[in-house]
Amino acid sequence: MKINFKNLLLSVVIITVAFTSCQKGDLISNPNVAAESSTIPTSLILNHITANLMKEEEPIISQVYKQDQFIVSNYPYYFGSNSYSFGPSANMYDQIKYCTKLEEQALKQYNSKTNNPYFALSKFFQAYSLIWYTQRVGDIPASQAVNSNYTNPKYDTQHDVYKYALSLLDSANILLSVQITSSNASTKVDASGDIFGLTYLQWQKVINTYKLRTLISLSKRADDNADLNIKSQFATIINNPTQYPIMSSTSDNLVYKYNSINYYPPNRAGYVPYNLCENISTTYMNLLTTNKDPRTFVVATPASALLSSTTVADFNAYVGEDNSKSQSFMSNFTADGKHASLNWNRYFSSASGANAEPYTILGYAELCFNIAEAANRGWITTQSASTWYGKGVDASLSIYGITDGKLLTIGNGDGTKTNIGTVTADVVTFKSKIAYAGDNATGLSQILTQKYVAFFMNSGFEAYYNWRRTGVPTFSQNGPGIGTTDNMIPYRWQYPNDEKTSNSTNVNAAISSQFGGTDDLTGKMWLIK
């Protein structure tokens, strides 16, 4: 792997990395550019790493949110298909290489001491990168992945990858905690290098909140892998808030900020006029309208053809489209007006995304639901599932600025009008319809459902991963729109083609041990068996 650090110095956010294999090789000096032994500002390397967390997260127009079944494309020319075309996966080993370089430079610039924030953040980003990849494909190289002595690194079992990643997250928390004082807790770690602009304490909260996400994602393996201590690790974080601080409000969210230069995605490449080429998915829309959820009026615009017989306040006017349906049966660019679309004013009218909710990579609402799920499952006894369930709902509503009695302006679908009516938010009725049923299977389903709703257009594939793990909510499939041989949603991606070329022995062994020798999209990895 070769990294041109002269180019790194010239570009703060976008850096081109050339490599021939996903994890092998070394950071070889290029005689035509600055030597690898040169001092590179840690801020510059951190800037690349933090920006690279947006690897798959691109709101609104991204394929991710079709596969999360939040939106559905009805016109392929502008918004592509709805197919679950999970081919060869990407990976994030380039991210890990930059983490290694960050640690090298931090040692050089901080007098060979590891008690600096860059070491802590490096451990977090390494864990994040490994988990990002393993949950897509299964077994991956981890223990040998960053060691250039291994040109063909072995594949660690997914169990061992998670064990290693969890230890990295624990190290990240410890390394950061020893640096935090009352005087610097609210100070930004690196105002110029960290695109998220988080403080020391906020980064520690992110690390532990992310660890709770990781632990809850292991729920299917919590009872048969004693060495991972999944339940006890979760409880340890919850029961020791001083040692393991977690997010305490939406102000702690890991948020990607758009502006007039870094355009909000719908304003790119002339997409703005074509909002009617995609609809809200029935999977998501039905959960809102069935429960009389006021978020309906914020994220969506009613089906125009239905307004002649009803009003914008009628939940029945907000009709979703089915992701599994063939696009030939969906509305095309000359929309028939029978389905709900995204609220144009909210998502398409501002290049900076000024009217939309902030894009969250990891947030407080999800944390609340994760704690509620753990309490419902009996992992923790000191917290109330009902309380945290309610906090999660409130946190999600607050992202949209919804309070009981607030007047909500309803925008249209294509931007030709700025206002087609108003609705008064009725939060009381909504909450009565989703009242927690107790620490039972119904209550767990409610928690998982409201977590899914809170994931709308954020957090990458988390909505899909939670469905894959729990089956909640029910995703639409078994139709031609799914795009697979059997019209069923796949459980994984395939291994990258370059790995099959350069590390064939090890990748083939991993495929054989997990999936019987076939790099099968329908194969169930250890994580979800």
pLDDT of residue 6: 40
Mean pLDDT on 104-126: 91
pLDDT of residue 13: 38
8 A C-beta contact, residue 458 and residue 359 = yes
Q: 191 with 99, same domain? A: yes
One domain, residues 125 and 168? yes
Q: How far apart are the first and last CA of the chain?
A: 35
Same domain assignment for residues 271 and 238: no
Reading the block at residue 374, the tokens are 């753990």
Residues 298, 442 within the same domain: yes
Shared domain for 394 and 452, answered yes or no, is yes
Note whether 315 and 398 are same-domain residues: yes
- Rounded CA separation 231/239 (Å): 12
Q: Are residues 282 and 215 in the same domain?
A: no
Assess if residue 523 is contained within a domain: no
CB 74 within 8 A of CB 277: yes
- How far is it, in rounded angstroms, from Cα 114 to Cα 117? 8
The backbone torsions φ and ψ at residue 55, rounded to the nearest 5 degrees and listed phi first, read: -55, -40
Q: Which domain holds residue 460?
A: 265-482
Q: Residue 393 and residue 369: Cα distance in Å, rounded?
A: 8
Shared domain check, 271 and 405: yes
User: How many other C-beta atoms lie within 10 A of the C-beta of residue 259?
Assistant: 11
pLDDT-derived band at 122 (thresholds 50, 70, 90) equals very high
Between residues 414 and 511, which one has the greater pLDDT? 511
Listed residue (67, 113, 169) closest to 455, CA to CA? 67
Q: Is residue 78 part of a domain?
A: no
Residues with Cβ < 8 Å from 399, sequence gap 6 or more? 250, 357, 358, 360, 365
Q: Is 33 a member of any domain?
A: yes
pLDDT attached to residue 61: 58
Which of 457, 482, 507 is at the close of a domain? 482
**Closest Cα to residue 141, out of 95, 183, 73, 91?**
91
> Is residue 51 in some structural domain?
yes
Q: Specify the pLDDT at position 10.
A: 41
Query: What pLDDT does residue 5 have?
Result: 40
Q: Are residues 209 and 331 in the same domain?
A: no
**Does residue 230 share a domain with residue 272?**
no
275: Cβ contacts below 8 Å, ≥ 6 apart: 266, 341, 342, 344, 347, 348, 413, 414, 415
In a domain, 298, yes or no: yes
Please check whether residues 290 and 211 belong to one and the same domain: no
- The answer to whether position 503 is within a domain reads no
Query: Tokens 């704690």 map to which residue?
Result: 371
pLDDT for 438-488, tens place per residue? 999 999 999 999 999 999 999 999 999 999 999 999 999 999 999 999 999
The CATH number of whichever domain residue 426 belongs to comes to 1.25.40.390
pLDDT of residue 273: 65
pLDDT tens digit sequence for 236-294: 999 999 999 999 999 999 998 877 777 676 655 556 667 788 899 999 999 999 999 99
Boundary-marking domain end, from 212, 246, 280: 246
pTM of model > 0.95: no
Q: Is 190 left (phi over 0), alpha (psi -120 to 50) or beta?
A: beta
Domain edge (last residue) among 246, 275, 307: 246
pLDDT at 363: 98
| 428 exposure class (CB count in 10 Å sphere: 0-12, 13-18, 19+) | exposed
pLDDT tens for 355-403 read 888 889 999 999 999 999 999 999 999 999 999 999 999 999 999 999 9
Are 271 and 385 within one domain? yes
Indicate whether 32 belongs to any domain.
yes
Report the chain's mean pLDDT, rounded to a whole number: 89
**What residues have CB less than 8 Å from 372, skipping those under 6 apart?**
385, 386, 387, 388, 389, 392, 447
Report yes or no on 496 lying in a domain: no
Q: Count of domains in the chain?
A: 2
Tell me: the pLDDT tens digits for 345-355? 888 888 788 88
